[in-house]
Structures are given as structure tokens and as C-alpha cells.
Amino acid sequence: MAEASASKKRKVQADVVQPQLQASSRFSVPGLTLQEYSIKAPLDHHSENSQEIDIFFRVVEGTSKLHCKQPFLLYLQGGPGFEAPRPTEASGWLRAAINSFKIVLLDQRGTGRSTPVTAASLARIGNSEEQAAYLQHFRADSIVQDAELVRQQLVPQDMQEGRWAILGQSFGGFCCVQYLSAAPQGLTEVFLTGGLPPDVNQPCAAESAYRALYKRVLLQNAKYYARFPQDIALVQRIVHYLDQQPDGGAKLSNGSILRPRTFQMLGLQGLGSSGGFERLHYLLETAFDGPDLSMAFLKGFETWMPWAANPIYALLHESIYCQRTASNWAADRIRQAEFSQAFDAKSSADNSLPVNFTGEMVFPWMFDDFAELRSLKAAAELVAHKKDWKELYDCNKLHETTIPVASASYFEDMYVDFDHAQATAKHISGIRQWITNEFHHSGLRDDGQRILDVLMAFSRGMMPLS
């Protein structure tokens, strides 16, 4: 009876039709050739009757015939909720990587050309409960299962036994660590750049992560104002102007309201990456046109805020830390309980103190202030209070892994706290880290060739332990 049951199970598995890759455009940019593909994936990888979504990716390689037999490297973008890079030439880390790999640039589900999640697409799904149920399938675990579908169809068995290397930047590194937990059999080596998730053994690392990150953000604010002390008074003037408007803020062309608290969010891009201080300063210097805020500044602020095209970031950012429990708007709770004075824009401006910008945090009031997020407020509340998130990391498997793992870990990272990342590194067997304060979180973009050279040397034993 048991033999018959096992035979029937094998037959059912054999009858399952694997999704097939669909190739489309092939084109070239200077130094690179790009082949586009798509594949169907279930929205819910754990349901036999799930609806399907599209997963899109590009395979990028050098133009020389010497590149034909290279192994594959999957690149996982930071975020969550941002599409893969769109190369225009062989530059940056891509230029370095094509010497060793064919690179797979995956639009993570919900981004780019992979059945995008937008306010309009979520509205078509139904009410807020249905939207929240849909959104639960867009975390790292689902992204990794999508990647496995792609790998099984793309990578030939005679090439490293059908396995590939993976490179994760920031949130993409979180996905890589989840990959090590869920499907290490598909991997040859793992490279992380600012991508060690914090405290993977905690049910939810959001509170401890944000508590540490607020302190790092305050340090970056201090460095910014030391670099541009003339901006202290300018920022105070902007805050006073916004606070004195009839609605407590300036109305933007898209219907959003620029209040002091939303103005402070410029720190998300301005404080933690190479060149960010300068970009923030140049934006602020355009702030006023006579007594009023200038159109250049208001349009610049809109450009810095990605919510219209990339709402997943606001909706799911805190959930990337969650296993088995809810985040309950952790960044907002920690700010109010422990950092309310430090980030009180009006009080700081009124008392002639520097106004601190915030960092990589999301807040419930964003779904009031930003027009493109207002229709998603109810769904966002449900996501924030969802308690039954699935496990993302298996510490036992991480302890047992034999896959080479190399990490560029940035000591002064404003987005991924170094100390909490080290708590995770202790769980990953054999991890080699390049610990440096030479780079910000944007190190891969700033000097990708050097970083990849070091990580590959670590992974392949060319830099032995001293």
C-alpha cells in the first residue's frame, strides 16, 4: 500500500508542467549584450491553485565570444520594491563582473516588468483585506522561489551542475541569506554588499534595528551640518515656512503635502550614500524663490520620493525584518518613545537647533502626506499588524552551510547597522568579511570592481586567513 502511494506521488510530480522561459528582445549597449526573458510564477508558491504573475529578467554578458561559457551570477537589487538596474554601457560593477560571469538582472516580483505592484494595480485587486493578502507574497522568501524557477530553466546542468552564484546589495543581501536557508543546493557562492540582515534569530528585528539606525542617522546629520553649517539656518527657515502654511505644509503638484515631517525624509537619500551630502545641499540651496518655496525645490523633492512607482518600499519595508510576528510600525514607535525630541523639526527650528533628517524608516503618516499612498492606507495598516509572517531564516542551515559566503560589511552603514549585522554573521558558517569604513552603503556603485575583486578572492581562497 505504501509502495503504491509513493508510486502515485512520483507520477503526480512527473506530470507537473514546469514553467518555461520566454525569450524576447536581444540588444546591445556599449560593451554588453542583453537578452530579455520572462517566466510565469505562482503568486503563492505554496498553493496548487495560485494565480500566476510574470517574472522578468535580463541576461547580461560581454560582447566577446570568450564570454559564452561563463557561469551565471544572479544580482539581487536593494529595496525592497525596486527593479533591477537598466544598463546603458559596461561600467561600474557590471564591467567588473562580466569578466567572470553572465549576469542575471532580475526584476524582483512586483517591480519593473515583473507584474508591478502600484496603487492602480492594487485597486484592481479589491478591498484592503484582499490587497494585504496579495502583498504578503512579495517578501524575500517568494523572491527566492522565483529565482529558483529561473535557475532551473536557465542554467544548464553541465554548467556547475546547474547552480549559480548570487550577489545581493542591501535588501538583496537579505534575499541571499534567505536563499542560503531555503535553497542552498542551487548556489555555488554568495557575495553580499551591505546586505547582512540584522539579528536573524529574532522573531522580529525591526525594533532593535531601528533603535540602532536612528543613532547612526543622528551621527550622519552631525557630519552633514559640520560639512555645510550654512544649511542649519536654511533648513530652519524651510521648516518655519512649512509649519506656517494653512494645511501645515505646502501642496505639491501631485497632491502630496510637504510638511516638516515629510521634508525630513530627504535624509533617506541624502545622508547615507557617497555624494549624498552634496546632492542634498544642492537641492536645499534652491529652496526659496523670494518669500516662497521655489518650483525647482518642490519638483526636486517629488523626484527624491519614489512612492508612485515603487510603493512596495513603503508597504513592506518593515516586514523584511519579521518572522512569526508583526512590526506594528516599529520605526514610528521607537521614534516617539526614544527619539521624539531629536527629530522634532518644529521644536528644533524654534530653538535655533539643527533640524535632523530621518533615514531609512517608514511611518504610518506617509499614507496621509503622500498622495500616491493614500489609497493604500488601510492595506498598509493590515500589513503592519500582520502577526503570522513566515520564517525567513533557518539558523541551523546557516550554521551548516558549505557554500562560500563573502561580505563587504560597512562599519558606518546608515541603512544596515554594523553591530546587528555581526549578530547574523555569527550564524553563517565560514563567512569571510571585508569590514571597512572606506565605503558607504553605496560601495558597490562607487567602486564595484574593487569590491567584487576582494569578495571573489575571499570566496575562492585567494586571500587566505591570516
Tens of pLDDT, residues 350-383 = 999 999 999 999 999 999 999 999 999 999 999 9
Question: Of 327, 350, 384, which residue is a domain's last?
Answer: 384
Are 47 and 158 found together in one domain?
Answer: yes
Is residue 274 a part of any domain in this protein? yes
Question: Of 348, 367, 384, which residue is a domain's last?
Answer: 384
Are 296 and 431 found together in one domain?
Answer: no
Is residue 466 a part of any domain in this protein? no
| pLDDT exceeds 50 at position 5 | no
| pLDDT exceeds 80 at position 17 | no
| pLDDT exceeds 50 at position 3 | no
pLDDT digits (tens, 9 = 90+) for 258-280: 999 999 999 999 999 999 999 99
Is residue 8 a part of any domain in this protein? no
| pLDDT exceeds 70 at position 15 | no
Query: Which residues are registered as beta bridge partners of 41?
Result: 53
Are 349 and 455 found together in one domain?
Answer: no
Is residue 90 a part of any domain in this protein? yes
Average of pLDDT values for 290-312?
94
Q: 212 near 419, Cβ under 8 Å?
A: yes
Is residue 169 a part of any domain in this protein? yes
Average of pLDDT values for 24-40?
97
Percent of the chain beyond pLDDT 70? 95
Is residue 6 a part of any domain in this protein? no
| pLDDT exceeds 50 at position 13 | no
Domain extent, residue 217, equals 206-384
Q: 25 near 36, Cβ under 8 Å?
A: yes
Are 359 and 434 found together in one domain?
Answer: no
Are 26 and 124 found together in one domain?
Answer: yes
Is residue 2 a part of any domain in this protein? no
Query: Which residues are registered as beta bridge partners of 436?
Result: 410
Three-class HEC string of the chain? CHHHHHHHHHHHHHHCCCCCCEEEEEEEECCEEEEEEEEEEECCCCCCCCCEEEEEEEEEEECCHHHCCCCEEEEECCCCCCCCCCCCCCCHHHHHHCCCCEEEEEECCCCCCCCCCCHHHHHHHCCHHHHHHHHCCCCHHHHHHHHHHHHHHHCCCCCHHHCEEEEEECHHHHHHHHHHHHCHHHEEEEEEECCCCCCCCCCECHHHHHHHHHHHHHHHHHHHHHHCCCHHHHHHHHHHHHHCCCCCCEECCCCCEECHHHHHHHHHHHCCCCCHHHHHHHHHCCCEECCEECHHHHHHHHHHCCCCCCCHHHHHCHHHHECCCCCCCHHHHHHHHHCCCCCCHHHHHHCCCCCCCCCCCCCCCHHHHCHHHHHHHHHHHHHHCCCCCCCCCCHHHHHHCCCCEEEEEECCCCCCCHHHHHHHHCCCCCCEEEEECCCCCCHHHHHHHHHHHHHHHHHCCCCCCC
Residue 334: per-residue pLDDT: 98
| pLDDT exceeds 60 at position 335 | yes
Are 344 and 248 found together in one domain?
Answer: yes
Are 196 and 214 found together in one domain?
Answer: no
Instruction: Give the count of domains, the chain.
Output: 2
Percent of the chain beyond pLDDT 90? 91
Q: Is 92 left (phi over 0), alpha (psi -120 to 50) or beta?
A: left
| pLDDT exceeds 90 at position 66 | no
Are 109 and 215 found together in one domain?
Answer: no
Mean pLDDT of the chain: 94
Catalytic residues: 170, 388, 441
Are 122 and 231 found together in one domain?
Answer: no
Are 67 and 162 found together in one domain?
Answer: yes
Question: Of 384, 418, 439, which residue is a domain's last?
Answer: 384
pLDDT digits (tens, 9 = 90+) for 105-163: 999 999 999 999 999 999 999 999 999 999 999 999 999 999 999 999 999 998 899 99
pLDDT tier at 11, thresholds 50, 70, 90 = very low
Are 112 and 234 found together in one domain?
Answer: no
Residue 4: per-residue pLDDT: 47
Residue 140: per-residue pLDDT: 98
pLDDT digits (tens, 9 = 90+) for 438-466: 999 999 999 999 999 999 999 998 876 55
| pLDDT exceeds 50 at position 79 | yes
Is residue 7 a part of any domain in this protein? no
CATH label of the domain that carries residue 191: 3.40.50.1820
Query: Which residues are registered as beta bridge partners of 52?
Result: 42
Are 146 and 27 found together in one domain?
Answer: yes
CA distance 317 to 333: 15
